Chain A
Amino acid sequence: MGLTGLFLISFLVVHSGINACIWANDHGEMFNKAAHFMGASVVIRILENGLFVGFIIHIVQGFILVAKNRSRRKIGYQVALGNRGSRWYSRSMGLLGTLILLFLVLHLYHFWTPSRLGGYFNIHELQPVAYENGKEIHNLYAEMLQVFQGNSPVVLIYVLGCFSLSFHLMHGFQSAFRTLGLHNQRYVVIVKTVGTLYSIIIPLALAMMPLSIYFHWVN
């Protein structure tokens, strides 16, 4: 879980970095170019497959782990230890992960499917847009406007998805390092601090995207 978790954590940095391009306020030009780059080169396509593998291993392993661990105590307690021993989100990684998975399915359906599979299997294609060099690329930005603008339920689901992600990371970030054996006091403190900041900043940045579009903070 730790290794795949860290791999996915590194992916989130790239994801939110590209997302941040919408705030260039250039009608999505910078964002579209960045998104195009992420789809165009062979290297990135290979990495994308690696990412899928990473996700699948993390998810499958997670479900197996939770199921196995649950089965280790057939008869439960009358009074639960609860928050006296650990944080609720540390105990709820399975639940948080499942919520993120549900969100992920919706998210892939919204953006990944039309941009990669558009045109096949009756899936609508993204609109083309051309910039100074005249080459047509996908206007993913326009698609985003369509998905988020005036669509409060979808925006709400995205924000909730980011909340789940935040708490999932709050435990996962430092736990991954512990699983890999980090126990030097100085580094533990650093990892915990970085982990907490990361778990707040990255999901916040991700959530700001649908919010910015919904509230017309970008154009």
Chain B
Amino acid sequence: MEHYKMNLTLKVWRQKNHQDKGQFVTYQVAGISSEMSFLEMFDVLNENLIEEGKEPIAFDHDCREGICGTCSMYINGRPHGPWQGTTTCQLHMRAFKDGDTIVVEPWRANAFPVVKDLIVDRSAFDRIIQAGGFISVNTGNAVDGNTLPIEKSRADESFAAAACIGCGACVAACKNSSAMLFVSAKVSHLALLPQGEPEKHSRVLNMITHMDKEGFGACSNTGACEAVCPKEISLDNIARLNMEYLGSSLTMDK
């Protein structure tokens, strides 16, 4: 693959804290390698800022290998940038050309308040999980493979849903700031397995109730979430969630 260097103009959202109004600040970065990741480019920019005695840009990151879901940047109008099925940390600078201007914003949703610069508070997701995204049975030691009969297709679907890394890009992309893709992934991966079966009704009711409490919007099936999800979680999970919810609200006294 061709290796090249580029000079870029970055327009980055800067905001001191939650109360601050915040604004875009323009930066120039020179000599960025096409092999770098997007976050490495930010590291270079931050080094420069520190050398200049300025406050570096705060952004979230952890694993930098696309599995933790911590990184979160809304790059040129798309969560996690231009590549399909990719997290910000896995986005490489070869996605850009010399002379590009890149606009970087934090996730925008009332339920995800800005903590500082590009960092938003996504603890609303944690609280939704606490409301029911778990199983309370003791599963004991790891059992031998195939001890529990599970249909292959169900296991596959469950696994695909379990790939959700809780990054929040679905909320960021949705015009309604809805968290349905996230919640549907978390409900589906358990509901499809025998271990998740016993609590499936109360789980879905509790999680949805909590989702609404946190101030996320309602789903109108536009599909923007699916299009930007770095783990390509399918919209079908939302339909499954709707069915689970309908069934549970008809059968449970809650």
Contact = CB atoms under 8 A, between A and B. Distances in A.
B238 A178 contact: yes
A68 B218 contact: yes
Contacts of B246: 180-181
Contact of B217 (A69, A91, A181): A69
Interface residues of A, number: 35
A82 B220 contact: no
Interface residues of B, number: 43
A76 interface: yes
Contacts of B110: 71-74
Given A180-B246, A181-B242, A77 B105 contact: yes
B44 to A, nearest CB: 23
B74 interface: yes
B236 A183 contact: yes
Contacts of A93: 220
Nearest to A182: B239
Interface string A87-114: 1001101000000000000000000000
Interface centre among A80, A84, A87, A177 (most CB of B within 10 A): A84
Contact of B242 (A74, A79, A180): A180
Interface string B92-130: 000000000001010011110000000000000000000
Given A78-B105, A82-B77, A84-B78, A181 B220 contact: no
Interface string A176-193: 011111110100100000
A78 B247 CA distance: 40
Contacts of B244: 181
Contacts of A86: 175, 222-224, 227
Interface in B208-245: 215-225, 227-228, 235-240, 242-245
A106 B44 CA distance: 62
B87 interface: no
Contacts of A1: 220
A90 B223 contact: yes
Given A73-B109, A77-B108, A90 B221 contact: yes
B176 interface: yes
A65 interface: yes
Given A93-B220, A179-B242, A181-B243, A85 B228 contact: yes
Contacts of B247: 181
Interface string B52-69: 000000000000000000
Interface string B3-22: 00000000100000000000
A175 B228 CA distance: 19
B173 interface: yes
A183 B243 contact: yes
A180 B238 CA distance: 10
B103 A79 contact: yes
B175 A69 contact: yes
Contacts of B70: none
Contacts of A180: 242-243, 246
Contact of A69 (B76, B220, B236): B220
B72 interface: no
A214 to B, nearest CB: 36
Interface in A164-184: 171, 174-175, 177-183
A72 B221 contact: no
A72 B212 CA distance: 11
A75 interface: yes
Contact of A79 (B77, B217, B224, B225): B77
Nearest to B245: A181
29 contacts: A1-B220, A69-B177, A69-B178, A71-B110, A72-B216, A72-B217, A73-B108, A78-B11, A78-B77, A79-B103, A81-B79, A81-B224, A82-B77, A84-B78, A84-B227, A85-B78, A85-B228, A86-B175, A86-B223, A90-B220, A91-B222, A175-B220, A178-B235, A178-B238, A179-B239, A180-B242, A181-B243, A182-B239, A183-B240
Interface of A: 1, 65, 68-69, 71-82, 84-87, 90-91, 93, 171, 174-175, 177-183, 185, 188
| A-B pairs, 3 with minimum CB distance | A181-B243, A85-B224, A79-B77
Interface of B: 11, 24, 74, 76-79, 103, 105, 108-111, 173, 175-178, 215-225, 227-228, 235-240, 242-247
